Amino acid sequence: MRSSLITIPLSAAAFAAPANFFTPHCVDSIAQISASGTNFDLSTSVSPANTTVPVNGTYSIQLHFCKPTTPIPARSKTLQVLVHGIGLNGGYWHSGFQPEKYSYVRYMAVLGFPTLTITRLGYGNSSHPDPVSVVQAPYDVAIVSSILKAAREGHFAGATSAFNRVVYVGHSYGSIIGNGVIASQPKLVDAAVFTGYSHGKMDPSKIALVPAASVDPVQFAGLPDGYFTTPNITSRAATFFSSTSKSYDPKALAFDYAHKDIATVGEVMTTTYAVVPAPEFTGPVLAINGADDILFCKDSTCSNLAGEKTFYPKAKSFDAVVIPSTGHSLNFHYSAPKTFFSINSWLAHRG
């Protein structure tokens, strides 16, 4: 297995965004997704060792499919499926704030990739079931797996045919879910990109979370207390953004906070379910983090990413990229185009 750890210099002009930033043609939809899984019994507020509670259902899931703006036949049949983390939603990938700089979807559309953005169960316009018993890591993996199966066949609004290859691109908890997917169903995707994530126990005290309805009674009206969000813009910056001076536009932080989303008690208590090895996954894996990510980097160079390769022993290749002066939410920093370029370059060589 080939592997590498690369640090991207911020001054590299070669990582500039493509000049041709046409707005892609996108289709928003609500899909009815059925899935079965086995969750943890959290009735005692303690996560037990094993999953014992069957969960079945059909839920509404918000999808956002975008066609490429540049026709590249070699890429037209490779679908990137984008999955966000906690406190965010699908808008993380197709930001309305200066999209020519910060929209991953628009960047990849210029380079010929179709994308399918998932707004996960409990978030955005997707269904909001019980935040303790239903929206947990095991069922999140089951729901996303069902979507991936349908996505490969082109069974979603906007698609006109099946896809030959599926690349999973996750951020933070979305990467955790993706890791759980390739661990449990290693043939479901062809390549995996995990941003804002590494194995190891995350310290939940670094994320300030309070009941969402108490922070914004309008946006989060009717949600039970098991749905949480970040309490203010200061805590948002401390957790999701770099502490390096002038590493992001304050307007980007303000936009991100204005469009914040939730996390659930069930997710927070069961995260480690999917933080496991994926011993049978044979596709290529890319791990990419900001050097200032306080949640998943152990030091100022995020050197722990190099050790991630041990969790994917049969992977075709493993590569890790560290973006300097960048915090957890890579897509909202000045370095976002460099992050996007790094993923595209990796796809060209490995994916």
Give the number of other CB atoms < 10 A from CB of residue 51.
19
Averages of pLDDT over runs of 10 residues in the chain (351 residues) are 63 50 91 98 87 97 97 96 98 96 97 97 98 98 98 97 98 98 98 96 81 95 95 97 97 98 96 96 98 94 94 98 97 98 95 63
Specify if 330 maps to a domain. yes
Residue 5 in any domain: the answer is no
Which pLDDT does position 11 carry in this prediction?
45
* pLDDT in the model for residue 19: 53
Q: For 61, phi and psi rounded to 5 degrees?
A: -125, 130
In this structure, is the dihedral angle defined by the CA atoms of residues 248, 308, 319 and 287, taken in order, positive or negative?
negative
- Helical spans, DSSP H, in the chain: 99-102, 104-110, 137-152, 173-184, 212-215, 233-240, 250-258, 265-270, 336-349
3-state secondary structure of 75: coil
CA 166 to chain centre: 15
Gap between the Cα atoms of 243 and 292, Å rounded:
7
Whether 270 maps to a domain, the answer reads yes
* Enclosing domain of residue 141: 26-40+52-350
Flag whether 222 is in a domain.
yes
Alpha-carbon 97 to chain mean position = 18
User: What pLDDT shows up at residue 1?
Assistant: 66
CA 175, CA 202: separation in Å to the nearest integer?
A: 13
What tokens appear for 126 in the block?
């997707």
Residue 3 covered by a domain:
no
- When divided into structural domains, the chain yields a total of 1
Query: Is residue 70 within 8 Å of residue 162, measured between CB atoms?
Result: no
What's the CATH code of the domain at 241?
Answer: 3.40.50.1820
For residues 317 and 287, is the Cβ–Cβ distance under 8 A? no
What is residue 12's predicted lDDT score, i.e. its pLDDT?
A: 41
Q: Per the domain annotation, does 20 fall within a domain?
A: no
End-to-end Cα distance, the chain: 14
Q: What is the pLDDT of residue 205?
A: 74
